[in-house]
Amino acid sequence: MAEFDVDLFVIGGGSGGVRAARIAANYGAKVMVAEEYRMGGTCVIRGCVPKKLFVIGSHVHQEIEDAAGFGWSIGQVSFDWATLVANKDKEIARLEGAYTTNVEKSGARIVKSRAVLEDAHTLRLATGEKVTAKYILIATGGAPNHGPHVPGIEHVISSNEAFHLKELPKRIVIQGGGYIALEFAGIFAGYGSDVTVVYRGDNILRGFDEDVRKHVRAEMEKRGITIITGCTVTKVDKHGRDFTAHLSGGSSIAADQVMFAIGRHPNVANLGLETAGVAINPANGGIQVDGWSKTSVDNIYAVGDVTHRANLTPVAIREGHAFADTVFGKRPVQVDHATIPTAVFSQPEVGTVGLTEEEARAQFSHVDIYKTDFRPIKATMSGRDTRVLMKLVVDGSSDRVLGCHIVGDCAAEITQVVAIAVKMKATKADFDATIALHPTASEELVTMRTPTARHVRQAAE
């Protein structure tokens, strides 16, 4: 009789957990996956996928406006929010089915239940059933965090509810200045809502390159989005179907919806972590793991947003795969968390990889900056007042490209390819030796010859 019921028990059916389960099962492990809600996790059900679908749809209004400059005369148009939501729901259901099928095809078993740790090898399901496992992987992801309690917080929605609104709000206040807040600001504005963004910091996109932050804000404001910084929502009142958001500066804003997108926290509560001896990282509130994604308990691992390392779906997938390779494939693999490309599907879009100018200047003595800000070719005919930003951060001593930052159409698509070059430690000379692909916006990355700034850090006396 086997010592354990399964070789691997995965808590969470999101991207990281599913990848780990499939790879482990392919190595011959007996695997069980517990998911209490829907297979696919945050990304598929209430994150990247529905968000990107909403973003794509929200671009149509601008495309219609721009069409006139190219000779198109488009008559009366209308938009139906309910149709968008219904079609999105249909696609998410399809993807959920695909996730489920792929896990089952690998030989792993799915149980639709919450699972709680009773000790380092035992889990209790909501049905009362107990399962023992040689290894346990925690991949429970994260959830929206509304921050400190404010009066009227019960009236506030998060990004979760934004995907299921019965109707498009005519006016919406969004608190937050990161990925989610700005992406939804662009979504709602694109569909015709009056959008106000409220952020406590001095400028949006904290942690991004300063030029990116300024450029995105200016472009969003050109598109009619109001951005109020150095401010927070202190109270939300409800009057029938309307709301009033009171701000720390003393002013107030009337709205049909108030949304908070001020961050996410790891789903670590009520999992039995304390009982099993799994430690929490005091610095970020996520499960504490080492470079192999191993927790403080030898046979328990954690991947993805629940660790609060780099909260990006492809990172969770890579971590889950590496875990399965290491533990079940006997092929030790560690995930390199350096130089991870990322995108903000705001409008305009942001793509970035590597170091910001500020980070580079703190780490390297000589830093060269190559930067261009130009009107894209489409705008010359559409007449739209918009500009693209491209920026390379280069080590002035070795000529290595340390970072690339792009704001404009297709920024994410361009950045994915540039990330390969940055990961390979390409030099500015390598970029310069690459023939431009004309006429594109991205050709600017290989035609910027003269630094716009050179920084030399003086040695301490």
Q: What are the DSSP calls for 11-29, one per residue?
A: E--SHHHHHHHHHHHHTT-
Structure tokens at 87: 């079609």
Which of 59, 239, 438, 455 is the catalytic position? 438
What is the spatial distance between Cα 461 and Cα 453, in angstroms, rounded to a whole number? Answer: 24
**For the CA atoms of 61, 66, 67, 73, what is the dihedral angle to 10 degrees?**
80
Q: What are phi and psi of 130, to 5 degrees?
A: -110, 140
What is the spatial distance between Cα 385 and Cα 218, in angstroms, rounded to a whole number? Answer: 11
Beta-ladder partners of 266: 142
Structure tokens at 453: 């700034």
Query: Is 239 a catalytic site residue?
Result: no
Structure tokens at 69: 């400059």
Q: Are 428 and 368 in contact (CB under 8 A)?
A: yes
**Residue 418: C-alpha distances to residues 198, 313, 339 (Å):** 33, 19, 11
Q: Are 326 and 332 in contact (CB under 8 A)?
A: yes
For residue 207, give the DSSP letter: T
Which residue, 191, 194, 184, is CA-closest to 83? 191
Sequence-distant (≥ 6) Cβ neighbours of residue 56 within 8 angstroms: none
What is the spatial distance between Cα 179 and Cα 183, in angstroms, rounded to a whole number? Answer: 6
Supply angle C-alpha 104, 107, 113, rounded to 5: 55
What is the spatial distance between Cα 385 and Cα 362, in angstroms, rounded to a whole number? Answer: 35
Q: Are 126 and 136 in contact (CB under 8 A)?
A: no
Structure tokens at 103: 């896990």
Rounded to 10 deg, the angle between the 60-67 and 48-58 helix axes is 20
The residues carrying an active-site annotation are 438
